Amino acid sequence: MLKKVVVVVFILCAAGCEKNNWQTMDLDLVTGIYLRQTPHSPAIKLGNPNVFEGALILSPNPPFDFIGVMSDAAISDIWIIPAEAKKILSKTDFSDVYNTNTYSESQIASHSVLTLSDQGRESITLNIQDLEEGYYRIFVKTQGGIYWDNFYKAGPDFDLEGFIESWH
């Protein structure tokens, strides 16, 4: 009888291990995204993007194979981490929550699937062909601190209209 109870508890724990207690500071959380075709085109806001706004422009977003990263200051380091999108925290004003010290370099680097160091440029094009389709957060270090944005790496069967609709 005790073995059956242990097995049932184990199964319930395994089934309940999915992360469902998301917080504003979770490194791998995407609560929205800005779509943009070119660096100068207006962005389309989907959800409530949990980004540190104003310091970065990503384009195109969503990208297929390459994404441009632009900043007002020289970019020294870039990290890309996989993320999960959730339609939560819609009323949160992230400009009141985030600052350039919200995440540490070591915290970001430990989750990074793509890292570039010692860049020294304000505009960089990244080859992301090897990333799987899905949501990512990009962290960029400049002299002003660490800034970040969200993007969706599109795959060959990507449906933009369906993607937009999924955020409504």
Q: Is residue 11 part of a domain?
A: no
Residue 14 — pLDDT band, cuts 50, 70, 90? very low
pLDDT(59) > 70: yes
Structure-token pair, residue 97: 């929550």
Across 134-146, average pLDDT: 93
Q: With 50 as the cut, is the pLDDT of residue 57 above it?
A: yes
**In a domain? residue 64:** yes
pLDDT in tens, 82-125: 999 999 988 888 888 777 778 899 999 999 999 999 888 999 99
Q: Where in the sequence is the domain holding 53, given as residue range(s)?
A: 28-166
CATH (domain of 146): 2.60.40.3080
CA–CA separation, 11 vs 106, rounded Å?
34
CA-based nearest residue to 135, from 28, 50, 59? 28
**Is residue 18 one of the residues assigned to a domain?**
no
> How many domains does the structure of the chain reveal?
1
> How far apart (Å, rounded) are the C-alpha atoms in residues 43 and 37?
8
4 is a domain residue? no
Cβ within 8 Å of residue 50, ≥6 positions away? 24, 29, 30, 31, 32, 89, 92, 94, 98, 150
Strand, helix or coil for residue 105: helix
Mean pLDDT, all residues of the chain: 86
Categorise residue 164: left if φ over 0, alpha if ψ from -120 to 50, beta otherwise: alpha
Q: What is the mean pLDDT of residues 57-84?
A: 95
In a domain, 5, yes or no: no
Owner of token pair 């070119």: 38
In a domain, 81, yes or no: yes
Distance CA 133, CA 124 (A): 21
Residue 99 lies in a domain: yes
Considering Cα of 41, then 32, then 99, then 123, what sign does the dihedral take?
negative
Q: Is the pLDDT of residue 68 over 90?
A: yes
Domain-located, residue 67: yes
pTM of the model: 0.84
Given a cut of 80, whether residue 10 has pLDDT beyond it is no
Q: How many Å apart are CA 41 and CA 148, to the nearest integer?
A: 19
Statement: residue 147 has pLDDT above 70? yes
Examine the pLDDT at 4 and tell me if it is beyond 70. no
Whole-number pLDDT of residue 17: 41
pLDDT at 18: 42
